Amino acid sequence: MANVSQSSLLREFAPQIERTSIVQTLWILLLVGIIGLGFYALYIQISQGHIVTGMRDNVVWGIYIVNFIFFMGISYAGALISGTLHLFRAEWRKPIIRIAEFMTIIALLIGPCYILLCIGRLDRLYYLVIHGRIQSPITWDVIAISTDIFGCLIFLYLAILRDIAAIRDFQSLRIPSWKRKLYSFLALGYTGTPEQQKRLHKATDIMAAMVIAIAVIVYSVLAWIFSVTLQPGWHSTIFGPYFVIAAVFSGCGVMIVVMWLFRKIYHLEKFITRKHFVNVGVLMLILSALFGYFTFSDYLTKWYGSEKNDELLIRLLFDEYYWLFILSNYIGVLMPMIVVGIPKLRTISNITISAIVVILALWVNRYLIVVPTLESPYLPIQDARPAWVFYNATWVEWALTAAGIAFFALLMTIGSKFIPIVNVSEMEDKPVPEEELLA
């Protein structure tokens, strides 16, 4: 694979950029339809108010915030995988790093939209800027996420610049003239001179480090929104690292599934091999162990402390949410351990299946963090009707959740039709000498 030339690679990926098959068109239409349903649900929510959702006075956060945490987690995992693998010059990263880069920015654009859906008075959104207080974790989150979006966009641009230039120069590519002009504009006149390579190399290295650091901060800030409150189940000092671990864990799951899908759709079997699945799977295994450790540590200390509200919460989790708790904290942790840990089971299909389970388990994990705690209110709110205390998501919330997933899939599809999903430029790069890496 190291001897594959850039031009032959581009020729191989040309059909995916040049044409959209009927199946792909139908796929895109399906996604657009789901997004359309989401917009209808949004219209209902805006015109009738949040009463159409399951959120009430006590349970003020529902699956919107769960989706927000989930998408931010995917984004963070993408940043960590692409940033770390880039910095460590891991050779095996090359065919999959583009997927990680796309995941990072797309999930980062979708995630915060769910926060907006939680806001009852969107017309007052600018108050966040005008009346924002630095002491508020919400303000930290706004600053952190906007900074992260900007950084990830720069990183993605740096990462795809060489491929854009290669496509611009690939004359036999049959694309409309406007698209060629767009590639020409975005390529910034990059021709691969030594000076340009040096500058691009420096900028990419720095941004790779920055996206990792920023992603850790963003996800920690997200965790602090919960942990700085005194709510049972949230007020925990390990929530920052716990969230970070959970984010990368779920992101690895999404990464494997997306790898599997692109491998099948674009027939990338010779680029994305079992080795890539096993490597990301091993990362998922390590993270599952860490996630299990953090989860156990968190619940053990709460259970052993026997603080009244913590006890109530744990009882609620093991009573009302028993199966979800088992799926989230047992099946989701043990499955990747068994599948990836036992060499005989370590096949592409098994790793993908365990990744699907991990995704579901981690989504449920966020649900169990958010909802049961809010269903155990601290404040003696007057006239706290039971209908306000318990939460059940409505079709509006599910429709908007489906729309977010569809939007993620749509942007990944469109992205793969704009730039080859395998990093063409890096595929022919030679490994960087160790002395240069250390310099």
Partner 1 sequence: MRNPVSIRCIWLTSISLCLFLYSFAQGDPSASEPAEPGLSLIPLYTSNDTVLVTTTISLRKGREWLHLQNAVISFSVSDGKNIVRKIGEGSSDSAGTVTLAIPLYPPLPQDAQGMIRYVADFAGAAGYAPVSESFSSKPAWLKVSFYEEDSIRYIRITGTQHSRDNKMAPIPGETVNLFVPSLFRPLPIGEISLDDQGTGTMEFPSSLIGDSLGNITVIARIDEHELFGFVTGQAQINWAIPKHLLAQEKPTRELWTPVAPIWMIITLLIMLTGVWAHYIYAIVQLVRIKTSKKEEKLPETDWSKYS
CB 347 within 8 A of CB 338: no
How is 362-404 classified by DSSP, letter by letter? HHHHHHHHHHHHHTS--S--TT--HHHHS----HHHHHHHHHH
Among 202, 267, 270, 275, contact with partner 1 (rule: CB under 8 A): 202
**CB nearer to partner 1: pick between 231 and 301:** 231
> Rounded CA gap, 259 and 155, in Å?
21
Q: Between residue 131 and residue 190, which ones bind partner 1 under the rule CB under 8 A?
A: 133-135, 143, 147, 150-151, 154, 157-158, 161, 166, 169-172, 188-190
> Rounded CA gap, 114 and 72, in Å?
11
Give yes or no for residue 268 binding partner 1 (CB under 8 A). Answer: no
**CB nearer to partner 1: pick between 11 and 270:** 11
Give the contact letters, 377-406, x = binds to partner 1 (CB under 8 A), - = no. --xxxxx-xxx--x-xx-------------
* Amino acid present at 14: A
Task: Give, in order, the Cα–Cα distances in Å from 125 to each of 55, 94, 344, 398.
Answer: 19, 41, 53, 24
Torsion of CA 190, 195, 200, 205, to 10 degrees: 170
Among 36, 120, 192, 431, contact with partner 1 (rule: CB under 8 A): 192
For the chain, how big is the Rg over CA atoms in Å? 23
**CB nearer to partner 1: pick between 100 and 161:** 161
Class of residue 289 by CB neighbours under 10 A (exposed 0-12, middle 13-18, buried 19+): middle
Residue range at the interface with partner 1 (CB under 8 A); choices 14-22, 27-35, 207-215, 275-283 = 207-215
Tell me the closest approach of the beta carbon of residue 171 to partner 1, in angstroms.
6
**CB nearer to partner 1: pick between 185 and 293:** 185
Tell me the closest approach of the beta carbon of residue 346 to partner 1, in angstroms.
14
Tell me the closest approach of the beta carbon of residue 172 to partner 1, in angstroms.
6
Among 360, 417, 428, 429, contact with partner 1 (rule: CB under 8 A): 360
CB 349 within 8 A of CB 33: no
The number of residues that bind partner 1 (CB under 8 A) is 64
Tell me the closest approach of the beta carbon of residue 416 to partner 1, in angstroms.
20
How is 220-277 classified by DSSP, letter by letter? HHHHHHHHTS--TTT--TTHHHHHHHHHHHHHHHHHHHHHHHHHHHTT-TTTS-HHHH
- Lookup result for tokens 């370590």: 346
Q: Between residue 213 and residue 242, which ones bind partner 1 under the rule CB under 8 A?
A: 213-214, 217
CB 335 within 8 A of CB 357: yes
- Lookup result for tokens 């990744």: 355
Interacting residues with partner 1 (CB under 8 A): 5-8, 10-11, 133-135, 143, 147, 150-151, 154, 157-158, 161, 166, 169-172, 188-193, 195-196, 199-200, 202-203, 206-207, 210, 213-214, 217, 320-321, 323-324, 327, 348-349, 352-353, 356-357, 360, 364, 379-383, 385-387, 390, 392-393
